[in-house]
Structure 1
Amino acid sequence: MTDISKIISRRWSPREYDPDFSITNEQMDQLLEAARWAPSAMNAQEWWFVPGIRGDKNYKVLRRAVAGFSDWALDASGLILNIHQEYPSRHGLDFGPYDLGSAVQNMLLQAEAMGLHMRPFATFDRELVSREFQIAAPYVPFTMCTVGKAPAGLTKDRERKPMQQLLWENHQA
């Protein structure tokens, strides 16, 4: 394997969180700061977040949106709603999901550097968050992320496709 940063190779997305761990406001701010520094098309930075920390008003709404869709996320210490603008480009190209993905990846790597775990997911009640946070077109509540710590002793070996399978020339439809 080609050597890459351990921050990347050791990062994993738990489906279980320590319900006793509490993320701090400062830690949440660090994650959002990491997102702020992500690259974006034409430096538009067309992404927004609704962070929630267990016990606060945003978290309560976000948790309701998760319940029944991604119940594994309910013990996370924090939840973050990720929003993009549907057609942000002046050139008619929709970079929103791509740019938002870059910002979320920055948060995931920052969380790993901080000894935390994050997991993005797309199964939640979009109508509920749109109504509660007054999100309307062209803005899209696209994904959410959990943040917290995995229970002690919980680890996962990550499996990845071999490098050759990533090359289009080797792709078979």
Structure 2
Amino acid sequence: MTVNDFRKPDFEISPQFINRWSPRSFVEKDIPEEVLFSVFEAARWAPSASNMQPWRFVIARTQEDLEKFHSFIVPGNLTWAKHASALAVIISETKTVRGENAWHAFDAGTAWSHLALEAANKGLVTHAMGGFDKEKARQVLNVPEEYALHAVIAIGFQGEKDALPENLQEREIPSGRRPLKESLFEGTFGKEALK
């Protein structure tokens, strides 16, 4: 089976959007530094409100640092995330010199999207997870209070489905998306743009 067996766009788009998905099976293999840093370089070029660039990443790629990250990932996610080559926590600065930054989370999400697409372009897979203890992560990683923690991102090379616990094997497929007409309204909420 291929990604196209699970995902069919309603309109023609670049295959990179269909081919990128979030597997859980990772092969324990080092990512060359220039490849790993290139995915963060892509995130660097994400659009940003007023060019504030509020996102930051704290990464782990040594055994010592990875074990620190393992301490705040929930057990269900840790069963597979511990095999990723690198982990990153995406955070964003919530304040500016002018006060609250209402766009910090939006911008951080855009940076994550750039990272995920570039990782796929480089032959890597990524999986962002919300299943982690944010307060413990803040303490372990020494993240200042003015930064919001959003997700832990597993980055690496895709492994075989059989390497996962049985309960996760059935979920190791690209997820679909609702039809575009259910997400796109015209003129007012609820008025279909597509018939």
What is the TM-score normalised by the length of structure 2?
Answer: 0.78
Number of aligned residues: 169
**Distance (Å, rounded) in 1 between the aligned partners of 2:18 and 2:33:** 27
116, 119, 127: which is aligned to 1:119?
127
1:51 has 2:59 as partner: yes
Query: Partner residue of 1:165?
Result: 182
Q: Which runs of 5+ in 1 are unaligned?
A: none
Query: Partner residue of 1:133?
Result: 141
Pick the structure with greater CA Rg: 2
Could you give the per-residue CA deviations for residues 11-60 of structure 1, whole angstroms, max 9, x where no partner exists?
11012212x322222222111111110011000001110111152x4322
**Distance (Å, rounded) in 2 between the aligned partners of 1:8 and 1:89:** 36
Q: Which runs of 5+ in 2 are unaligned?
A: 1-9, 163-171, 186-190
Q: How far apart are 1:68 and its partner, in Å?
A: 2.1
Query: Partner residue of 1:61?
Result: 68
State whether residues 69 and 124 of structure 1, in contact with CA within 8 Å, keep that contact through their aligned partners in structure 2.
no
Look up the equivalent residue of 1:7 and give its one-letter code: Q
RMSD: 2.2
Look up the equivalent residue of 1:17 and give its one-letter code: F
Query: Aligned in 2, Cα 1:24/1:94: closer, same or farther, shift over 3 Å?
Result: same
Query: Aligned in 2, Cα 1:69/1:130: closer, same or farther, shift over 3 Å?
Result: farther
State whether residues 66 and 124 of structure 1, in contact with CA within 8 Å, keep that contact through their aligned partners in structure 2.
yes
- SS of the aligned residue for 2:71 comes to helix
State whether residues 65 and 129 of structure 1, in contact with CA within 8 Å, keep that contact through their aligned partners in structure 2.
yes
